[in-house]
Amino acid sequence: MKQAGCHWMGVDIKENADSYVFNVEIPGAAKDDIKIWLENDILTISGEKKEIGNESDKKLHSERYFGKFERSFRMPSDINGNNVKAEFVNGVLVVSVAKSEKAKAINVEIK
Amino acid sequence: MAIVRWKPSGDLFAVRDELNRMFDSFFENNSSEDGSMLMPPTDMLEDNDKYIVTVELPGMNKDQVKITVKDDVLTISGSKNRQSESKSDRLHRVERSFGSFCRTLTLPSKVVSSKISADLKDGILKVTLPKAEESKAREISIAG
């Protein structure tokens, strides 16, 4: 994460039977300004949040962060890097990384 | 008025019930999961004829947000609920905050309350409040 500003993108990571799902809060970002990289076992989410408004606007109250952001996560080795899906809904980026076939839990039945 | 037989212990029980109610409401968990209220980051901008308030509400939809304006006080409140997870999901990291919030802003001047508009897009609530005619900046020419 970039040190400038006190910005923190909250991330929830959960694992289900066949994928790892990342939920990243990036309110106000444009879809086209978000980049997702998967390099070996490192998933990186970066981008820039641009402020919309005119130069002449007077700021009366300012708490929101604008500018660059970046976070990286080390993935487990059991992922299928060719099967990564992402969507941006209501300011939340949802990235799902599929598990490799051999990593999926198999239910063994007792005969 | 009905006549009720006086029970010496009745008043004591009433006090006990009152105390219980006080403690219950104090510890009632109607805010976020760790007990504190959420404080979504909020900006307020001003230009010549309006105020614009923006609030970061990622993952929320418009039915979960309530906006009220009374006199010159704008209140934005709501409840951000965690999506229900299936029991088989394993959580690796939990950083997002959920719960209720209430932000109150005092507007610097009068607004036209009938013309206030709001929209929620990409997790940003934007409330536009047009200034009342008498509070707009205007240039004053020098007579003579």
Total Cβ atoms within 10 A of residue B117: 10
Say if residues B136 and B112 touch (Cβ distance below 8 Å): no
Nearest chain A CA: its distance from B73 CA (Å): 14
Asked if B123 and A57 come within 8 Å (Cβ–Cβ), the reply is no
Q: Is B64's Cβ below 8 Å from some Cβ in A?
A: no
Q: Does B71 lie at the interface with A, CB-CB under 8 angstroms?
A: no
Nearest residue of A to residue B50, measured between CA atoms: A57
Q: Is the pLDDT of residue B22 over 90?
A: no
Instruction: Judge: A91–B85 Cβ closer than 8 Å, yes or no.
Output: no
Q: Which of B92, B96, B65 is nearest to A75 (CA)?
A: B92
The answer, yes or no, to whether residue A3 has pLDDT greater than 60, is no
Does residue A41 contact residue A77 with C-beta atoms inside 8 Å?
A: yes
Instruction: Check pLDDT > 90 for residue A108.
Output: no
Q: Is A31 helix (H, G, I), strand (E, B) or coil?
A: helix
Q: Over chain B, what is the mean pLDDT?
A: 85
B46: left (phi over 0), alpha (psi -120 to 50) or beta: beta
One-character DSSP codes across B17-50: HHHHHHHHHHH---S-TTSSPB---EEEEE-SSE
Each residue's pLDDT tens digit, B98-132:
999 999 999 999 999 999 999 999 999 999 999 99
End-to-end CA distance of chain A: 51
As given in the structure block, the two tokens for residue A39 are 């390099």
pLDDT band of A6, cuts 50, 70, 90:
very low
Query: In the predicted model, is pLDDT for residue A1 greater than 90?
Result: no
Structure confidence at residue B25 (pLDDT): 63
Measured CA to CA, the distance from residue A82 to residue A98 in angstroms comes to 8
Residues of A in contact with B61 (CB under 8 A): 90
Flag whether pLDDT at B50 surpasses 80.
Answer: yes
User: Any CB–CB contact under 8 A between B111 and chain A?
Assistant: no
Tell me which residues of chain B, numbers 82 to 101, contact chain A at a CB-CB cutoff of 8 Å: 85-86, 88-97
Mean pLDDT across the stretch A3-15? 73
Residue B46 to residue A54, Cβ atoms within 8 A: no
B124 closest CB neighbour out of A27, A54, A63: A27
Q: Which 3 state secondary structure label does DSSP give A84?
A: strand
Least confident of A44-48, B17-21, B26-30: B26-30
Give me the pLDDT at residue B1, please.
60
CA A56 to chain centre: 33
Q: Do A15 and B105 touch (CB under 8 A)?
A: no
Two structure tokens written together for B31? 């805010």
Assign A65 to helix, strand or coil: coil
